[in-house]
Each structure stands twice: as structure tokens, then as C-alpha cells.
Amino acid sequence: MTALKTKLLKPLALFVIATAGLNAQNNTTSISIQVDDNAPVISKHIYGHFAEHLGRSVYDGFYVGEDSEIPNTNGIRNDIVEALKGLKIPNLRWPGGCFADEYHWKDGVGPKAERPVIVNTHWGMVEEDNSFGTHEFLELCELLGAEPYLAGNVGSGTVEELNDWVEYCNYDGNTSMAQWRKANGQEEPWRVKYWGIGNESWGCGGNMTPEYFANLYRQYATYARNYPGIDIKRIASGADADNYRWTEVMMRDVPHGMMWGLSVHYYTRTGWPPSGSATKFDESDYFSIMKTCLKTSEILDNHIAIMDKYDPKKRVALVVDEWGSWYAVEEGTNPGFAYQQNSMRDAMIAGITLNMLHERADRIKMANLAQAVNVLQAVILTKDEKMLLTPTYHVMKMYTAHQDAKLLPLSFDSPEYNFNGESLPAISASASKDKEGLVHISLVNIDSKKENTIEIDCANLGIKDFTANIVASKHLQDHNTFDNPSTVKVEDFKDFKFKKNKLTITIPPFSVVMLEGK
């Protein structure tokens, strides 16, 4: 009996081994796309950006002054405006960050010669002359076609100060604030919609407990009033990374009608202060950063679960208004300026993170990459009159196709990216269908060495043909410099087949692909 069983099992074992070898050789990942009428729309505001008075973000970045030889509009750099318009930037957050809770907006309006000089104690102890204030920022937003997102001072400010700022920006009447705005050159109110109340109030914004901030928030939110023609959207300072207790207390203690959104901040970094070079790293460094980035999924899901407990109808948005990579500053630069380069590793972070935000679009309605220019995971770097676009810029430009498109939920089991006995999912993906009926599928392969083959069943999408673009390069460390600004760029991609409603694509190592079907 035993001998007979052995004889019968041997051919079966050989078949199993052969099949396993064939599957490993094919290494094909099947992705299923669902068309769900109840799926959420991916808000364009997930593609927001951030401009803090930090290092060379505002001064020598966005703003060079009216007397600069660099082409500008009232001191605002024209080439940066045009580049960001290419990203269809939907909103811009300002003036911070930590700076917001030491910023007093009245210092930044009126004749520039009369504006007081202060010290930026958070970022490099440099002097701030307030030449870029409310009027300049709101003009920048008008040039960009972006919604302003103003962060109010709770840490060192007052309720009256925030109340006055809202009135100054939004009231069309004859109050002292409205008259002051008009005297400073702005006849019509801007009607600013998005208002942050506090920033990182658990830390640089006041080192508060969640219970204390929840009560304080209720007070500030009460006096951040609506005016005729604009109902503002109040965004409460939220948690740092896995500080779930902060979210629990805010959702429990603040009436949901007082919060349009609750923020969370999560950076892809190793330790504090952040360490490691943005360009001089090995595969071990790369794998560690990818692991940290992918933890975003767990962080978001845990905060969302708490919000769902208190707000099952999802009336309060989760606002991820600071995300991105954070390394040691570039050699020879001010440690307080957070200036770093941007490599193919950051392109992976951008693609993965945006895919994760899409997947949770029913709760996440706004997000802001930190930051737009010359700081952290910037999409633009400048040096005097020169400007370059980073790998992150090119990924975000491809992904603009998802803005305000309906999510197409995906189902798949990712192949693994293996390194030193550990593994991570190699493939990240998301898909959407826009109002014109175009389908967009974004794919990221983080594996540092291995290409992956992906098969997508498109039978229920009504697609006749696909085109594709890719961001890829020869080395993980590749980045754009002022001497070689096009080392990493968007290129046409042809390594796919579409036959009998099956899309088969071979995606190279550490690359991001965007497919468009129509």
C-alpha cells in the first residue's frame, strides 16, 4: 500500500514542481478591475502642495522680488508658476508648517517698508522681513489657478487674530478689516475656502495634549466665521504618524459639523533627525525607505478606522497635508533649510503614496506634498536663474489624469521584492475613469532588479486601445541636476500588448508607468 502510494505521488510531485517552476518563470501578476457605481471620486485636492517659510521655499524660490533679473510677476517667479500649472496644482498650503504658529498675518500686509522683521526660530534662525505676506500669497494662488489653504496661528496667536484674518480675506463690506484690505490694494474679497486651525499642535504648534487642543479648537473654530458668499472648510490640526489617540480624542470631543477635515502628517524617513543622503545610498538604504513608505497604508487605515467609528457617514475628511521623503540636507547647505535632492527613489515614493491615497478616496479628500520648491521632496529646485523639475514632478504630472476621476477598485496579489531575507510587495497600482470616459492605470514596480509582468482584464471597461508613459532610469540614485536637468523624465512606453481585452505589460525595475485607455 505504501509503495503504491509512493508510485502514484511521484508523477504528481513532478507536475507540481514543474508547474511551480513555470509560474515562477512567467512571474505574471493578474489585476482585476471592478467598475463600481458607488466608488468614490479621487478628489483633485489630493494633489495639493505646500509652501512654508522654510529655507528657500518662499524667498529665492517662489518669490524673488520685483527688482530681480529673473522674469517675475510682482516678484513671483514666472517659470515656477508655469511649471506648477503643468501639474494642475489644485491647492497650496501656506505659511506653514511649524512657521504658521509663530506667524502673525498682520505683520505681512501694508507697505513693505513698514513691515516688521522677525526671526524664523524654527528654520535656521534667519530673519524674515515679511515682504511675502497674505496679498503676495493670494496673488500666487491666482496665477497658479489654485485654491489657497491658509494655516492659522493657534500656538502663539489669538482667537481674535484668526477671526480678523478670515474677515480680512472674505468679507465684502465696510468693517475695519475690509477697509484695510481695500486700502492695501484688494477691493474684492478673495473668499478663501480652506482654513487650517493649528499645525502639529502636539509638537511645534504648542506641545498640547489632545484634550486641551480639542477644547481650544472648538473655540477657534467658532470664531473662524462664514461670510456671505463663502462657507469655509475648517481643518483641525491632527496626528503625527501613529498617534492614534490624537485622532480618537478629536473625533470624540469635537462636533463633526465644526470640522471639514482632520489632518495627519507622515514622512518617509529613518529616525529623527532624518539621516542618509538623498542621492548617495545603497540597496539596503533603499529597501528600508520603501518599507517606511509602505507603512503609510497601515497608518492611514488605523486613523480611518477611528474616524469611521465616530463618523460612519464620512462627513469629516482625512487631510494628509504633509507627506513625502525626508533625508539629511545636502552637503554645505544650512541644516535648518531642509534642502535635499530628489532621485528615482523619490519617484517610487510619489507613485506609491498617490496610489495609496487614491485607494482611500472615500475618506481622504485633500493631501499636500511637502514641499513644492527647494524643500524636502520638492517637485522643483532652483539655483539663481536656473530651475529643474525633479523625478517627483514627472510622476505627479503623469498622475494628474486621476484628478477628479472615479476610482476603479483593483484586486491583485503583488509579487514580492526580496532583499536580505525580507520582502515587500513589489507592485503598487491604482485606476480611475474620468468624465470623458478615459481609463487611467498607474503602476509602480519598486523592485530594484527585477522586471514584473502584469496582466489586466479590461473586458468590462470598453477599451479599444492603450497608450503609455514611463518614468524610469538606469540607476536608483539617478536624479536631475542643473547641468543635466533631463536625466530623469517622462518618456513614451511601448512594452505592453493589448489583445482580446487583455492588457499585458512588462514593467521595468524601479519604474512608474501610466496607461491611458480609450
**The C-alpha cell that represents 376 in the structure block:** 524636502
Between the alpha carbon of residue 482 and those of residues 69, 340, 346, 386, 486, the distances in Å are 19, 14, 18, 7, 9
φ, ψ dihedrals at 227, nearest 5°: -125, 160
Q: Where are the beta strands (DSSP E) in 421-477?
A: 422-425, 427-433, 439-445, 452-457, 466-471
Rounded (5°) CA angle 438-405-299: 130
Report the candidate in 438, 513, 510 with the shortest Cα–Cα distance to residue 470.
Answer: 513
Q: Are 406 and 433 in contact (CB under 8 A)?
A: yes
The DSSP 8-state label assigned to residue 46 in this structure reads G
Cα 237 to the center of its chain, rounded Å: 17
Between the alpha carbon of residue 110 and those of residues 134, 162, 185, 237, 385, the distances in Å are 10, 18, 9, 29, 29
Q: Are 269 and 292 in contact (CB under 8 A)?
A: yes
Distance CA 341, CA 375 (A): 9
Enumerate the β-bridge partners of residue 433: 406, 439
Cell 484690505, located at residue: 181
Q: Are 446 and 417 in contact (CB under 8 A)?
A: yes
Report the candidate in 423, 428, 245 with the shortest Cα–Cα distance to residue 349.
Answer: 428
Q: Which of 322, 359, 491, 516 is catalytic?
A: 322
Q: 62: part of which helix (H) or strand (E)?
A: none
The question of whether 167 is a catalytic residue gets the answer no
Distance CA 479, CA 3 (A): 63
Q: Which of 136, 147, 200, 359 is catalytic?
A: 200
3-state secondary structure of 186: coil
3-state secondary structure of 458: coil
The question of whether 139 is a catalytic residue gets the answer no
Distance CA 314, CA 6 (A): 59
Helices (H) and strands (E) in the chain, counts: 10, 28
Strands 48-50 and 364-369: parallel
Half-sphere exposure of 90 (CA within 13 A, CB side): 21
Strands 233-240 and 261-268: parallel
Active site residues: 200, 322
